[in-house]
Structure 1
Amino acid sequence: MRDLRQHLLLVVDEHGVCVGLATPLDVLTAVAGELPDAGDADPPSASRLPDGGWSLDGRLAVEEVARLLQAPDLRRDYPDATLAGCLLRASGAIPEEGQGMDWRQWRFEVERRVGPRIERVRATRRVEALADELAGPA
């Protein structure tokens, strides 16, 4: 224990008799309730939509979003760790469902929010960007 530098609490009764041991996690669980394991969470997901857009988990790393959308400059323009962080930075507040941001040829819109957490984001190509691509070079 000493080598691992873990803390333990000795539990004593009113007579000073040791009746058990507890860890800080035991105390936290007693106060806050059962905590989810880090391995319990589903990994962030992304799915292609029939209209060509994307439904993205807000927890997706910006690098992964940039790769999926073939938009390498996203990481440079938004140095946040996650897509939700990009939306928070762009809006300056926690966006409501349906709100979002335009970035170059993409529109990012909050699909689902639970409390302050942005769970799903819809990414669609902006109409202006599609028109420019179809028109070709000037």
Structure 2
Amino acid sequence: MTSSYHPEQFEIKYNDNYNGTKSIKLLNTTLLVNNPNPELIDINKINEEKWIEFWENLEKIGLWDLEEEYQGCTLEGGFTWSVRIQYKSKDIISYGVNIEPKIVMGDKIYSILEELYKSIEELISFE
């Protein structure tokens, strides 16, 4: 069963020199989550309301408005990240090195990546 709320493409990677790599990738109807241990999640088991909330959260945090590339400088350590999501008419490809995009909501500054990870955790949690 294919839902109109399922993405066509979905791949997110985050790697830092201290904690290794975390990733999530859509393979057909299964999300392969490495955080850091591999886990398979059938996207058909995620209810429609969770998908709706997830896509609304991505709008709220401005994910679709990200620049293609973010580059920062650091002398030691560092991290890389990439986001590739295609859903209906929306498509985002963005990546960065040692810097991540931020958004101002109210009187606070938030990391778009952290907000994205929170939204993913809410989406795939089966409480």
Could you state the TM-score of these two structures normalised by the residue count of structure 2? 0.24
Structure 1 or 2: more strand by fraction: 2
Please say which structure displays the higher CA radius of gyration.
1
Q: Identify the structure with bigger relative contact order (alpha carbons < 8 Å, sequence gap 6+).
A: 2
